[in-house]
Structure 1
Amino acid sequence: MGVVVVTYASASTVEACLFRLLAARDVARVIVIDNASPDDTAARVQHMAQRDPRLSLVRNDDNRGFAAACNQGATAVAQPWVAFVNPDAYVERDTLSRLVAHAVSRAGAGLLGVELVNEEGEVDLASRRADPSLRDQLSGLGRRENLYLGADPALKLQPVEAVSGAVMLLPTGLYVRLGGMDEGYRLHAEDLDLCRRVREAGYEVVVANDLRVTHVRGVSSRSRPVWVEWQKHRGLWRYFSKFEARETPGWLRPVLWCGVWMHFALASLRAGWRARSGRAAAPLQ
């Protein structure tokens, strides 16, 4: 299989991620697309690439966005399977090979994810997700509990509506047929969009409940919290416009639009405050 890793300011985790990928079974190629990292992420990747010909680095002159970089990397994959792995996700030696085996054994499986956990072993609820709905968010006063699906212990492969984009596996041919990820998303919701289009094409989206991957969340995003919030809300509105707007009464659309951007304002204030508090609490070097 081929693996695509998109990096931006990922110096603190990228070497650990790539070390594990290059040690993984059945990984024939790892392609890193660096979106103009301001730190030494690319230099670290290049140093590793000099020691392993399976690893290659493409450095973009600007930040093209996650979806565009994923598509850029996927064009270089000649293997029948393509995996997308975040630079802060740490796979085990047999994680991806077992995921491929699951895919082969499951007729109709189009996109597969895994259970993600943080460094303390706590399960990331985004591992198993339902499609987001702005209308449901409005009626539920912003509560998101219904977006997250628990694990079904009776199922090794659990059908869901969406998985987290931190680790995803697809047949390369299906990814190409779907046109890859929607490059209109810069960051966030592109994975939800892809999962939905996989299902609309007649395939299943499933989570391998017997596979766990440690995910150190948000490493690339910590330096730009307000920008990240902007992209989250922009992506949510794009998703709504593609999949939900047609079924939404005309009078309700501006209400939802106002709700999204009011929520962005509040979320940005919280994110900015957390970032300032974190800097203030950081020890002197």
Structure 2
Amino acid sequence: MTSTLSSTDPLAVSIIIVAADSGPTLREGVRHVLACKVPLELILVDNGSSDGIPQAIQRAHQNDHRLRCLYNHANLGFGPAVNRGAALAHSDVLLILNPDCMLDEASLRRLLQLLEETPKAGLIGAVVCDEQGVPDPASYRRDPLLRRALRSMFGGDKSGEGVHIAGGMPDHPVQAEAVSGALMVMPRRVFEFLRGFDEAYFLHCEDLDLCRRARDAGYQVWLAGDVRVLHGKGGSSRHRPVFVSWHKHRGMWRWFRKFDPASRHLFVRIFVWSGIWAHFVLNLPRLWLRLLRYKPRTDTA
């Protein structure tokens, strides 16, 4: 596809997608973005994929000046890759998008409108949904403090005291403590002020970290409850569930040590560390079974 926009059109947004053997859904995600008429650039950051899809996408869209590709020769992790993509961005607005999220024109325009209308917003998320339209609870949640996590384990979410928020997903913009990193839009100046993602996270929980640091810096975090975006839940995650789970648990431990006041107590730290890694070990059989059952999609594009 050849872009109908002139290279001199002012950019409304720089969209950053990080790929790591993300599979055929990456093609679909890129097609959705490039179908939008909003003046944009798409920065595709590849974390050492071996499937050849990022290179195929670059060849397929070689006449579209909006697409730029950055190839890392190893998997640097999600946050570090986004930071490198953001360093190449030309727009004053960044939109971080998972490779399996299907962003449409109306959703993009609504997100940009809300960002413009909310001057105190440092970060805005959307409601990401599965193929059945069921919202991911991670779209709208609280900081995962230990006391909240324990309450969630024992039904505290229903009373409004857990990590997840009772009452269902809102259908209008609301302030939140944290939103999903599958889709985040923010002013570039805020991203740079926060120095981007904390690169000590490899995968998972870096979005919680960024939301918390934005709020600590005096910015607001918002959920665009009226924006629903299909999220395919991880092409790269499905074929290496143990690897992903390992880094998710590492991220949980880092977030706890950085932000939870309970981490100041030695015995609580020992309890939480033990609980996190016991949870990882207990889930290994299920993860290995998932890997045995995994059947990669055939890319016919």
**8 A Cα contact 1:45 1:57, kept in partner:** no
Q: 2:42 aligns with which of 30, 35, 41?
A: 30
Change (3 A) 1:141 1:11: closer
What is the TM-score normalised by the length of structure 1?
0.92
| Residue matched to 2:8 | none
| Cα offsets for 1:205-233 (capped at 9, x unmatched) | 11111111000002111111111110000
Corresponding residue for 1:253? 269
8 Å CA contact 1:8–1:41 kept in 2: the answer is no
Change (3 A) 1:9 1:2: same
Q: TM-score, normalised by structure 2?
A: 0.87
Which residue does the alignment assign to 1:105?
Answer: 117
1:63 aligns with 2:81: no
Q: Which residue of 1 aligns with 2:194?
A: 178
Name the structure 2 match of 1:273.
Answer: 289
Superposed, 1:51-130 pairs within 5 Å as 51-130=63-142
Contact kept? 1:157, 1:207, Cα under 8 Å = yes
- Alpha-carbon separation, structure 1, partners of 2:198 and 2:261: 17
Structure 2 distance, partners of 1:65, 1:277, is: 25
**Residues 152 and 164 in structure 2, CA contact (< 8 A), matched pair in contact too:** no
Summarize deviations over 1:90-111 as a string: whole Å, max 9, x none.
Answer: 0111212221111111231110
Aligned-pair CA distance for 1:13? 0.8
Q: Which residue number corresponds to residue 236 of structure 1?
A: 252
Percent identical residues: 38
Which of residues 40, 44, 49 is equivalent to 2:61? 49
Moved more, 260-269 or 226-235: 260-269
* Structure 2 portions without partners, runs of 5+: 1-12
Query: Aligned to 1:152, which of 148, 159, 170?
Result: 170
| 1:150-186: CA deviation from partner (whole Å, max 9, x where unpaired) | 3234xx2111111111110000011001000000000
Q: Is the 8 A contact 1:188 1:231 kept in 2?
A: yes
Distance in 2, Cα, partners of 1:72 & 1:46: 18
Asked whether the 8 Å contact 2:256–2:263 carries over to 1, the reply is no
Tell me the SS of whatever aligns to 1:260.
helix
Aligned mates of 2:197, 2:173 — CA distance in 1? 24
Shift of 1:278: 4.1
Shift, 1:127, TM fit: 1.0
Q: d(CA) in 1 for partners of 2:148 and 2:111?
A: 33
Cα distance change on mapping 1:107 and 1:209 into 2, 3 Å = same
Deviation at 1:27, TM superposition (A): 3.7
1:211 aligns with 2:251: no
In structure 2, distance between residues paired with 1:147 and 1:119: 24
| Corresponding letter in the other structure for 2:209 | D
Aligned-pair RMSD on alpha carbons? 1.9
**1:248-283 residue CA offsets vs partner (Å, 9 max, x unmatched):** 42221111111111001012221112222445xx9x
Could you tell me whether the CA contact under 8 Å between 2:263 and 2:269 is conserved in 1?
no
What is the aligned residue count?
Answer: 278
Cα offset for 1:134? 3.0
Q: Does the CA contact (< 8 Å) of 1:137 and 1:143 recur in 2?
A: no
Q: Which amino acid aligns with 2:111?
A: L
Q: Does 1:6 align with 2:22?
A: no
Any unmatched runs of 5+ in structure 1? Answer: none
